[in-house]
Structure 1
Amino acid sequence: MAFRTFLSALGVNAPTAETTVENPDVRPGEELRCRTVVKGGGAAVRVDRFALELVTRVEAREPSDTGWSNPGVVDVSALDEGFVLEAGQTLDFTTTFAVPWEMPLTHALGMPLKGARTAVRTVLEIDRAVDRGDFDEVRVHALPAQDVFFQAYLDLGFRFDEAEVKDYVCTGGENQTLRYCQELEFWFPPEYRRESQLETLFIARHDSLDLITGSKGPYPFRYADLDRESWTAWLDEHLRSLWFRG
């Protein structure tokens, strides 16, 4: 979905910036490709800063699931210097983001995760007027190993509630490199006799991931060893040993 930014502070003949995300469906570890067309307005202006930012919804910063008032910036692609945009001039920029392995997910098993949002934000600053209010949504799908564990929870009777991104180093996250961590919250099955939720975290890398359940872990799993049946059996035994009341 393309969007258009108008710097209203500069009047109706202000420059515009239109960004298109060429591949809005990605997985951690892949590249996100963007194209921005900047068009000059009625007079030449100096663009002091032009940047694209890969952002995520951080639970503590936003007032609602639909809020984008203060998103967490995961990565920034910016020009080294400002430039002069002539009246009526058109400039075309191509930007590529390397999606971090620990990027918060917006989808698992092909389904959207409640509370999760990621986007590319365009920032254009001209004469101290900054427009950073428009976002182009991106869908970050789970890695195969993450999908296997997500499905295992469902097969074991757990019910997904929502995803929350926190702005801190998570407990047990010895391998965490991103400043944000995403908690996937599941309701326990009735037989556990628990009314609370279980928080699960994935700290992914290029060849493996760490699974953290509640405050327990990290438990490493290699992608090359992916086995849905054995991983589901391990998770069942692990969760019952820690939280089952019977």
Structure 2
Amino acid sequence: MSLKAISAKDAASLDKDLMDMGGWSLDQLMELAGLSVSQAVWKVHPPSKGKNVLVVCGPGNNGGDGLVAARHLAQYGYTPSVYYPKEGKNELYQRLKTQLHSLSVPFTTDFASALSSTTFVVDAIFGFSFGGPLRAPFGEIVSQIESSSVPVLSVDAPSSWDIQSGPPKEGPGAKFMPQALISLTAPKPCVQYYRGRHFIGGRFLTKSIADKYGLDCPQYPGIEQVLEIGVDAEGRL
């Protein structure tokens, strides 16, 4: 199965429509997105492969999705830890942190040590709004993830990639190819450069909004929040 891609501009507009016209709150969208991420982790890296999962969060909504995912992973029986070098200022992120503290999920400040001792990484640094270049400390973080042998799931796009044109020509992220990618709501154009396991998640797309943006409504099986799909970056870009 393949789905059409959506541009960063349309993705932002779609989220606004969901909230303004569809009655969704940012909290709800982030909760379902993070739940999808956690389920994708379970599919590509079940606890039998190693319970230590390092969730690397950026300062925006992509990082918020990572915080939600870390909470669900803790509830599933993983041992997640979070690296959150530049915290988001929205009060929502602080509440997500409180929820993790209540579950005794640690926040680490030593990224290199955490990376060397984990069995899996969730890259929740930057999503569809990223425009580059990488600012400190994220260039070094991406470089370390890129050079590590630890498997990675990226959320919405591999961090450092341009949403339209894919990986940078040089520098941090130029050779970054995570083992798995979960596109939220719809794939972004950069998926045409991606080679790995690709999932769709975010089970909140309505038919009317999908029709407005020329998208397909994924047919999620049963109670699944994620669906493994192919890649088709043709269509609405």
Larger Rg: 1
TM exceeds 0.5? Answer: no
TM-score (normalizing by structure 2): 0.24
Q: Counting helix residues as a fraction of each chain, which structure ranks higher?
A: 2
TM-score (normalizing by structure 1): 0.23
Kindly indicate whether structure 1 or structure 2 has the higher relative contact order, using CA contacts under 8 Å at least 6 residues apart: 2
Q: Counting strand residues as a fraction of each chain, which structure ranks higher?
A: 1
